[in-house]
A and B are shown apart, each in its own frame.
Chain A
Amino acid sequence: MNALSDAFAWLATPANWQGEKGIGHRLGEHLYFSGTCLAVACLIALPLALWLGHIGKGGALAVNLSNVGRAVPTLAVLVLLTLTPLGRYGDLPTLIALVLFAVPPLLTNAYVGMREVDRSVVEAARGMGMSGRQLFLRVELPLAYPLIMTGLRSAAVQVVATATLAAMAGEGGLGRIITAGFNLQDTAQVVAGAVLVAALALLVEGVLAALGRFFDPMRGRALSQDD
């Protein structure tokens, strides 16, 4: 595997880490794009999905949204936004596209999570005299938590991937290392950039999976049902 060792040699070259086109700056851009947009997408999608799930309405919207999201090519949206007048405002097209593609997995999973909460548990909570607010905070939210986290993980992976594609539309981020490598016909640089992006995506997924398990409100409670 010559290509792979060339790629690691490229990564090991200190000069490739410095400057505006260096790995350090590109990684910073990537994390900044991804983090901001994921936060904005959460602020938009989660309250809406949890509320719709709580009142039990809007299911068709929540489920179809992710089907629509699948059919629309990310690259097309990025390029279309870049060519609109929004393209004059630097990073704005990328940021909008990132939010657009992060919302469907968040919304769908949080909604499905809320609706999949066992109806008999909800009925029992109502029978105990819980108010809508108590029901939401103490029953529905903890039980829907695993799926909400699945949605967050999917959205994060999606955002990292979309931020990579932004390079094809001329924006920054780690994808720029790949596209620059293609322009220079430098296979080592292309593979090195791809290794960085893939590692970042898998790392983000892994960290979020670990955090999700650590903060699970139902962690360790399953056993208490036996006694």
Chain B
Amino acid sequence: MGGRNCLVANDWVCAEYVRTRSEELTDATLQHVGITAASILIGLAVALPLALLARRGKAFAGPVLGLTTALYSVPSLAMFSLLLPLFGLSAALVVTGLVLYSLTVLVRNILAGLEAVPEEAREAARGMGYGPVRQLWEVELPLALPALLAGVRIATVATVALTTVGAIVDYGGLGGLIMSGLRSDFKAQVLTASVLCVLLAVAADLLLLALQRWLTPWTRIRSGRAPGVRTAKVVEPA
């Protein structure tokens, strides 16, 4: 097991691998984090206007929710492949695909959060002379924050896992190491990259949980949890 032998013996667990290839592992992890972070941030920027549009009435809500749900059923490999003619082999392709997936959860959760804002709060804001924009930023969005952040957590964890599929166009972060490990039958590389990927998802989830607690201290007093059951019914694409 020890020292140099584990690389030669092709063991699953190999400290020597982690030591000698730490640079490769760091690069892949950084790419993974970069792709995930870009996807979630762009996803939020797109989801917010879509949720505001869907809120305008059933005529908008139907198409917006229907379309984002349909996107969710498209398998990731097909999604990335369909974007190939538009983006070529690039990181933009992977980010675009992941943004499209994140929209389903984000739009739904932002919408649920906005719809749960008490009517009295809106009326009070209007009574105090708030315009629509100020009402949205200072009253409605803060009150919708718990649901929004719950959506961000789910979308982030799913995105970390899905980023691996980006390996098909050589921008898959740790997925690239998994695929090259498969081609060369390099067990330590596949296991290390897979474990790092799960750890990354857990770390991102905990980080966002801390952010959620810091930004929305009032939710703990009421012991009200963000809509967990609602979101549990949506399943992640693979």
Contacts and interface: CB of A to CB of B under 8 A. Distances in A.
A155 interface: yes
B235 A198 contact: no
User: Which of A73, A182, A195 lies at the interface centre, i.e. has the most chain B CB atoms within 10 A of its CB?
Assistant: A73
A3 B74 contact: no
Interface pairs A-B: 10 shortest CB-CB = A3-B85, A161-B75, A194-B81, A154-B235, A76-B194, A161-B238, A197-B78, A71-B201, A194-B78, A73-B161
B114 to A, nearest CB: 24
User: Which of A67, A72, A76, A197 lies at the interface centre, i.e. has the most chain B CB atoms within 10 A of its CB?
Assistant: A76
A155 B75 contact: no
Interface string A158-187: 101110110111100001001101100001
Measured as residues with beta carbon below 8 angstroms from the partner, the interface class of chain A is 35 or more
A93 to B, nearest CB: 11
Interface of B: 70, 72-79, 81-82, 84-85, 154, 157-158, 160-162, 164-165, 167-169, 175, 178-179, 181-182, 185, 187, 190-191, 193-194, 197-198, 201-202, 205, 228-229, 232-238
Interface string A69-99: 1111111110110110000000000000000
A171 to B, nearest CB: 12
A105 B182 contact: no
B233 A198 contact: no
Contacts of B202: 71
B179 A202 contact: no
A147 to B, nearest CB: 7
Interface of A: 1-4, 63, 66-67, 69-77, 79-80, 82-83, 101, 104-105, 108-109, 112, 116, 147, 150, 154-155, 157-158, 160-162, 164-165, 167-170, 175, 178-179, 181-182, 187, 190-191, 193-195, 197-198, 201-202, 205
Contacts of B197: 73, 76
B168 A168 contact: yes
Nearest to A179: B168
B102 to A, nearest CB: 13
Given A109-B233, A179-B168, A167 B77 contact: yes
A73 B76 CA distance: 12
B96 to A, nearest CB: 14
A139 to B, nearest CB: 20
A105 to B, nearest CB: 4
Given A70-B157, A112-B232, A187-B85, A76 B75 contact: no
A166 to B, nearest CB: 10
B178 A198 contact: no
Contact of B164 (A75, A101, A162, A202): A75
Contacts of B77: 161, 164-165, 167-168, 175, 178, 194, 197
A187 B84 contact: yes
Contact of A71 (B70, B161, B165, B235): B161
A198 B78 contact: yes
Contacts of B79: 194, 198
23 contacts: A3-B85, A66-B232, A69-B236, A70-B161, A73-B164, A75-B175, A75-B179, A76-B194, A79-B179, A83-B187, A108-B232, A150-B233, A158-B235, A161-B238, A164-B78, A165-B238, A175-B77, A191-B84, A193-B81, A195-B82, A201-B73, A201-B75, A202-B74
